[in-house]
Structure formats: C-alpha cells, structure tokens
Amino acid sequence: MTNQQATHVAVIGGGILGVSTAAHLARGGAQVTLVTAGALADGASGRSIAWLNSSGDRSAPYHYLRLLGLDRYRTRLARHPESRHYLRFDGALKWAAPDESLRQTFDYERAGGYDAIWLDRAGVAELAPDVNADAVAAEGAIFNPGEGWVNLPDLIAALAAEAVAAGTRIVEKAGHARVDVTDGVATGVVLGDGTVLPADHVVLATGGDVPAQLGALGVSVPDATPSAFVLFTGPVDVEVKTVLNTPRVAIRPTPDGRLVLDADWAEKSVVVGDDGAITVPEESVQGLLDEASKVLAGNPKLTAHRVGAGLKPIPGDGDPVVGAVPTIDRLHVVFTHSGATLGLILGELVAEEVLTGAPSPVLRAFGLDRFTDGADLGEVGIGAWAPVPQR
C-alpha cells in the first residue's frame, strides 16, 4: 500500500483497533498521530477474554470477516515467531448447559466448512487433558482446533513499537479527546486540555465510548454496550492450553501462567453507580473462581489476582460498525465486539480505505449507512467481494 499524498491521520483510541489502524497507516506511508485518553491497552483491550474465533451462527459477511481476522493472526505468528508467547492456536472447547444441546451448532459449523470435531467425554480427556472431562455435558463437546487466544496488551505493545518505528507519534494520557469538526469536515483532534492537533483525516476507535462521541457530533449508532468485568487469577499449577467456553465460565490462559475468567451471569451482577463507577460483587468473583475450578483437571484451588471492569463494546445489532461516517467528511469509525479476533484485519482495511479513498468491499455490510437508508446488506455473498490486497 502506498500513500501518494502523505496524509496526516489522527487516530483516537489506544486499544487493539486504534493501535492496529495506526500501525497499518504508518506502514502505508501516512503521517500518524495516535491519541489515547490514558495508557495504551488500559480499556477494553486490557480486560478481554480475547478468544480468536468465528464460532457459531453468524451472517455470511461477518463470518467471512472473522475468518480473515484469523488468517491475519496466523500470518503474523509465522512472520513474528516471538509472538507465540502471547498468541496461540491451541484450539477451543465448548459444551452445552443441562437441558440444552450444541448439536445444531456443530452441524452448522461443519456445513460451512468450519473446523469442528465432536468429542465424547473420553475424547475430551484424551485431546484436552487440562479439562475435567466429568464436567463436560453428557452429550459431549465441540472442539475447534483452529481457534486460539491472544494477550492483547502484548500485541498492542508490539504494534505500537512498529508504528513508532515507522514515524507514528503516540500521545498518551490525553484525557477525553474528541474529534474536531468544522463545516462538516473532521479537521483534527481536541485533547482533554483543549489542545488542538490538526489532521487531514480522523479515525475514531474508542471502544464503548464511540456511540456517545458520535452522538455529540449528531451521528446516532445503536448501542448495546454493557458494563462488564473479567477476572485475572493468581498463578495456577495446571497447564491450561485450551480456550474453554462452558455454561458457567469462559477461560483462557495468560502468558504469565494465570487465567482470565468471565461469564454472562457474572457480567449481569455488576453494579453501576450514578457516577459510572462499576462495583463487582465479591460473590461474583468467588463464583467465577469456583466454576473455573470445577471444569479444570484436578479441580485446582484458584485465587483472584485482579478484576478488570469497564465497558464491553457491543453495537446495537451485534455486527461491527466500521467505515466512513456519511455525514462528516474525513472521519472513519471502528466500533465492534470481538475486537481481538478483528483487530488486525479491521486495522488493515480501515487504513486501506483512508489511504486510497476507496471503500472496502469486505466492509460494505458494516457501514453506518445501514442504520439510515434501510438497505439490507445481510445477504451479501462472499463471492461478490474483491480480493483484499496482501502485505
């Protein structure tokens, strides 16, 4: 990718989406300024289960985008073998709650060619010895060999270093930064202290804050962002490799021998104060520890190390919101759940749109215009998309 106009692009957001976009822009020759309210990775990216997958039933465009996301991770792992410390593809295991079944999910995944293996309890014990096979549903479980996990703070640090080496300026602890708009055109970024950083183009990638920031500019985006938390355990004695998605707890390992835990029921227990402060009940913390112990081999005693609480970005319809903002020239937005899986590919495609001025066919189904023009883009076929340039 070559930037013929040496565009100066300001990116707001220090999570995986913002940093990935900045790194790809810099790689393409742009002058880039990355602005973040606090430190890099101190938002949702620093408290993510970060499961890399396209599991389950999704629209064709969204499934395809996630497959591209997995592809970019595998490419990065091959080119940067040192990343194996924090980026792994050791598979993921999931099973159903009592009185439920994942057979239909398995059939759906297989019908679409997604790598999925049905295991009975004996198969689980053989293939995933870190799992307590007795805790698996009587019907069995789905093992997805091609799935994995990433520790986003480590990846963000690596991408930020690459961006800086390519000339990017990173402004941390900038306070509440906002897009500066003049006569319907994004002209830069206003930092928390009022300092204005001019730019030719702005990318807004501030996670769960995106809807409010767009709303302040008169742009409405449906929002289903909840307050949530993940729990980081103390060091564990068992070696956990497999990402686990069980009825009562999700688990993935960390590079330093801990575990990250979350669950829908625990998320719903948080208390949000009038000032936005999030309180996580102690019983929810202990409940996650207990549930995780039950599904791990040997039922190890787990301890809490720290809680990461904050907004979990989720667009109102569940699909990514990515692309140019129709009513404000020279402004792009990136707002999505599953930022881990999509982090590399969305950074690449958004950077390409900004630098070339050409909309990405892959992102057509995820534009903001779907909320205003009534277009039904959910049935766009994979075969209608042009190949994405590789780097």
Would you say residue 387 has pLDDT above 80?
no
Would you say residue 223 has pLDDT above 70?
yes
Q: Report the pLDDT value the prediction gives residue 373, as an integer from 0 to 100.
A: 57
Percent of the chain with pLDDT over 90: 92
Q: Report the pLDDT value the prediction gives residue 5, as an integer from 0 to 100.
A: 56
Beta bridge partners of 190: 178, 196
pLDDT bin (cut points 50, 70, 90) of residue 30 is: very high
pLDDT bin (cut points 50, 70, 90) of residue 4 is: very low
Kindly state the DSSP code that residue 334 receives in the 8-state scheme: E
- Identify the structural domains of the chain with CATH numbers, from first to last: 8-47+152-224+316-384 (3.50.50.60), 89-148+225-311 (3.30.9.10)
Q: Report the pLDDT value the prediction gives residue 28, as an integer from 0 to 100.
A: 96
Residues 6 or more apart from 203 whose CB is under 8 A from it?
9, 10, 11, 12, 13, 18, 21, 25, 331, 332, 333, 334, 350, 354
Reported as a single tens digit per residue, the pLDDT across 141-177 is 999 999 999 999 999 999 999 999 999 999 999 999 9
Q: What is the mean pLDDT of residues 5-19?
A: 91
Residues 6 or more apart from 277 whose CB is under 8 A from it?
none
Task: Measure the CA–CA gap between 327 and 369, rounded to whole angstroms.
Answer: 10
Task: Measure the CA–CA gap between 324 and 99, rounded to whole angstroms.
Answer: 45
- Chain-centroid distance of CA 57 in Å reads 18
Q: What is the mean pLDDT of residues 333-343?
A: 97
Q: What is the mean pLDDT of residues 216-231?
A: 97
Q: Report the pLDDT value the prediction gives residue 159, as an integer from 0 to 100.
A: 98
Concatenate the DSSP letters of all residues of 38-67 into one string: SSTT-SGGGG---EE---S---HHHHHHHH
Q: Report the pLDDT value the prediction gives residue 388, as an integer from 0 to 100.
A: 25
Sheet with 51-52, edge to edge strand ranges: 51-52, 148-150, 87-88
Would you say residue 381 has pLDDT above 50?
no
Q: Report the pLDDT value the prediction gives residue 363, as an integer from 0 to 100.
A: 98
Q: What is the mean pLDDT of residues 363-389?
A: 57
Q: What is the mean pLDDT of residues 241-265?
A: 97
If you count them, how many residues does the chain have? 391
Which region, left, alpha or beta, applies to residue 11 given φ > 0 means left and ψ of -120 to 50 means alpha?
Answer: beta
Would you say residue 1 has pLDDT above 80?
no
- Mean pLDDT for the chain overall: 93
Q: What is the mean pLDDT of residues 68-75?
A: 98
Q: Report the pLDDT value the prediction gives residue 140, as an integer from 0 to 100.
A: 98
Task: Measure the CA–CA gap between 278 and 274, rounded to whole angstroms.
Answer: 10
